Amino acid sequence: MWVTPFFIGSARENEVMQKQELLQKFTELFGDSDGAEVYFAPGRVNLIGEHTDYNGGHVFPCALSVGTYAVARKRSDRVLRFYSLNFEDKGMIDSSLDELKPDPLADWTNYPKGVMWAFEQKGMEIPRGMDLMLYGTIPNGSGLSSSASVEVLMGFILRDFFGFDVSNEELAKIGQFSENQFNGVNCGIMDQFAIAMGKKDQAIFLDTRDLSYQYVPIRLDGVVLIITCSNIKRGLADSKYNERRSECESALGDLQQVIGIESLGDLTEKVFDSYAAAIHDETCRKRARHAVYENQRTIRAVDVLEKKDIDAFGQLMNESHRSLSEDYEVTGDVMDTLVQIQWQCEGVIGSRITGAGFGGCTVSLVKEEYTDLFQKQVSLEYTEKTGLKADFYVVEIGDGPKKL
């Protein structure tokens, strides 16, 4: 695997260095870099509002400064030549615009190909093939949305290459459509939206019912956001994700027999509690309870954050984790252990699992002066209790996709 050089200096200098390094690597792979352009799309972390986006609820994610870089250039024929510096063992994966169908052997290239397919489904024919090299700085399988990052990135490149008239919001929808229809994961809109619409130092409060949104500046005086990567493999995550989604749909179906709602996001906790008995299956009832309570928690969380009540925000993060553990059952023993360790650390204001679950990362609000101690303590105890090694990232909230 290609190892990232350690970049120091200003963000702008880093970008330039990154760009030259990437072009050089592209030249090694494709002969030269004439006509090649360099692009970037971020990853995302969700602060609160988990498994609410396919239930008509609210989410509160932000784009990260880590993400996926691409070097791409148009070809004169219909050939697609893809290479990832993160999966060098897979080598160059070749196909063509005439073969835009899911193929297990195509491995990670099913993501960019899915987006090409989605453009064509929406009536935007891709006239020429491309050479594409990707390099991701999002830790693998971390639940920080490396796939959505690739999807939005691909859409951004296609728009830039062929002048398609699509907004960033539409790029997000196309990314989600490709993931649902081409790659078979029934995800909501959160990841692609957070990535396509990301803004430096702002989180996005998004209502997934109608995609209305508001940027909320994340100015956390004396407090940092730390992502802890559990490094457990997210086995079967996709099928369990789809299962949760259908459990929620089944709960909604039962509720619609007794109350006129369009989605679980329409319900307050109180109304849900009074109709919950209409949901026949106990598991589905628990899933729906999480979706309803988490949505209301997210609305409250943004409200308290705007009032600068960071402690209340932290409490809501903790409640979110408990609900994901007990009602939604997407955490598992290891992630629960990790969060419990974090809750015990001095200086922690709140901590929870982030993303789809079944492994991945946690996000924690930590008083700045405890940043190092937090990492030391969590690292030690986590390894002691699970035998695994944790990785830490102090969150920098970055912009959406761009050409470098």
Tell the burial category of 177 from Cβ atoms under 10 Å away from its Cβ (0-12, 13-18, 19+): buried
User: Where does this chain touch ligand GLA (CB under 6 A) — which range of 26-34, 43-51, 88-96, 320-328?
Assistant: 43-51
Q: Round to whole Å and give the CA distance between 172 and 178.
A: 10
Sign, Cα dihedral of 370, 372, 376, 379:
positive
Q: Which is nearer to ligand GLA, 46 or 386 (CB)?
A: 46
Please select the residue that binds ligand GLA; options are 41, 47, 158, 190, rule is CB under 6 A.
190
Identify whether the C-beta of residue 26 lies closer than 8 Å to the C-beta of residue 132.
Answer: no
- Nearest distance in Å: CB 186, ligand GLA: 9
Q: Round to whole Å and give the CA distance between 94 and 229.
A: 33
Q: Among residues 1, 60, 7, which one has the least CA distance to residue 350?
A: 60
Binding flag, residue 355, ligand GLA (CB under 6 A): yes
Which residues touch 261 (CB under 8 Å, ≥6 apart)? Answer: 252, 255, 267
Binding flag, residue 151, ligand GLA (CB under 6 A): no
* Rounded (10°) angle between helices 110-121 and 168-181: 110
Please select the residue that binds ligand GLA; options are 50, 131, 151, 266, rule is CB under 6 A.
50
Among 89, 107, 160, 191, the active-site one is 191
User: Where does this chain touch ligand GLA (CB under 6 A) — which range of 46-54, 94-102, 132-140, 150-158?
Assistant: 46-54
Q: Which is nearer to ligand GLA, 187 or 339 (CB)?
A: 187
Name the amino acid, one letter, at 285.
R
Q: In what order do the strands lie in the sheet containing 79-84?
A: 93-96, 79-84, 130-136, 61-74, 37-46, 402-403
User: Where does this chain touch ligand GLA (CB under 6 A) — which range of 45-53, 251-259, 336-344, 388-396?
Assistant: 45-53
Binding flag, residue 381, ligand GLA (CB under 6 A): no
- Nearest distance in Å: CB 178, ligand GLA: 12
Q: Which is nearer to ligand GLA, 355 or 401 (CB)?
A: 355
Active site residue 333: no
Binding flag, residue 118, ligand GLA (CB under 6 A): no
Q: Round to whole Å and give the CA distance between 297 and 50.
A: 10
User: Parallel, antiparallel, or unpaired: how do β-strands 361-367 and 402-403 relate?
Assistant: unpaired
Binding flag, residue 356, ligand GLA (CB under 6 A): yes
- Nearest distance in Å: CB 109, ligand GLA: 19
The residues assigned a catalytic role are 191
Which spans of this chain sit near ligand GLA (rule: CB under 6 A)?
Answer: 46, 50-51, 53-54, 187-188, 190-191, 355-356
